[in-house]
Amino acid sequence: MRIAHILFSQGFGSRRQCAGLIAAGLVRVDGRVVDDAAAEFEPEGLVFEVEGRAWPYHAKALILLHKPPGYECSRKPRHHPSVMSLLPAPLRTRGVQPVGRLDADTTGLLLLTDDGALIHRLSSPRQHVPKVYEARTRHPLTAEQVQRLVDGVVLDDDPAPVRALQARATAPQELRLVLAQGRYHQVKRMIAAVGNRCEALHRSAFGALELPADLGPGQWRWIEPQAIVPPR
């Protein structure tokens, strides 16, 4: 694949802008300047540099972001900055979007990708991809409240009960929930439905992928789909 097309596919601007980066000597492969836009490279596994920053080629981008509080999972946020502002320009340009959404005040593991098929696969309730949430409640949890979350509660927009795959009190006012669905404000509404209130919420896992301890709030890294749902 031509280096100009590689840059374009990875979000480094329009075709003209990518050609300009190359002509200006701002692109390197294996430490050497590539100033010919027609130079060809095998893209798979390629790591190139643009303006001194190393960038691995990915046909489809898949990003793990440790979402901090105070950010909206939207390209057109209304009240807070967008999580997109935490990502470098090439990822924004190529159109990555969140796989599901976390509320502005919810923290933790957020996936973003430009792979529409993967978004559908990970978001569909039929796939039963579990997500783990850690909640802090206003009042001490009772055994009855925890059991009701597993047995099922009815939310105000649907008569069908929603259930946690697992629910466990990890402290008097701390709850770990495992869900397969992803409805609007679901965790908060489920906790309210059993007579308590969610004061803070954090997503710690998505499928088989756990939020790395060394990834701080606002930081991101590349991942592979197999890290979320290992092949059967």
Q: Which of 34, 56, 78 is the last residue of a domain?
A: 56
Same domain, 202 and 212: no
Among candidate residues 150, 107, 123, the one with its CA nearest the CA of residue 228: 123
Cα dihedral 175, 177, 181, 182, rounded to 10, equals 40
By residue range, what is the domain housing residue 202? 130-206
* Separation of alpha carbons 160 and 57, rounded Å: 45
- The answer to whether residue 103 is catalytic is yes
Beta-strand ranges (E) seen in 86-181 are 97-98, 107-113, 131-137, 153-155, 158-162, 166-171, 174-179
Domain count for the chain: 3
Asked if 131 and 208 count as a contact pair (C-beta separation under 8 A), the reply is: no
Same domain, 90 and 42: no
Same domain, 183 and 136: yes
Q: Which of 18, 34, 56 is the last residue of a domain?
A: 56
CATH number at residue 176: 3.30.70.1560
Counting residues of the chain whose pLDDT is more than 70, the rounded percentage is 99
Residue 137 lies in a domain: yes
pTM: 0.91
Phi, psi angle pair for 145, to nearest 5°: -60, -45
Same domain, 216 and 163: no
Among candidate residues 166, 68, 177, 182, the one with its CA nearest the CA of residue 133: 177
Same domain, 8 and 114: no
* Separation of alpha carbons 79 and 73, rounded Å: 11
The per-residue pLDDT for range 122-145, each reduced to its tens digit, is: 887 777 789 999 999 999 999 999
Same domain, 90 and 183: no
The per-residue pLDDT for range 36-62, each reduced to its tens digit, is: 999 999 999 999 999 999 999 999 999
Q: Which is catalytic among the residues 30, 103, 151, 157?
A: 103
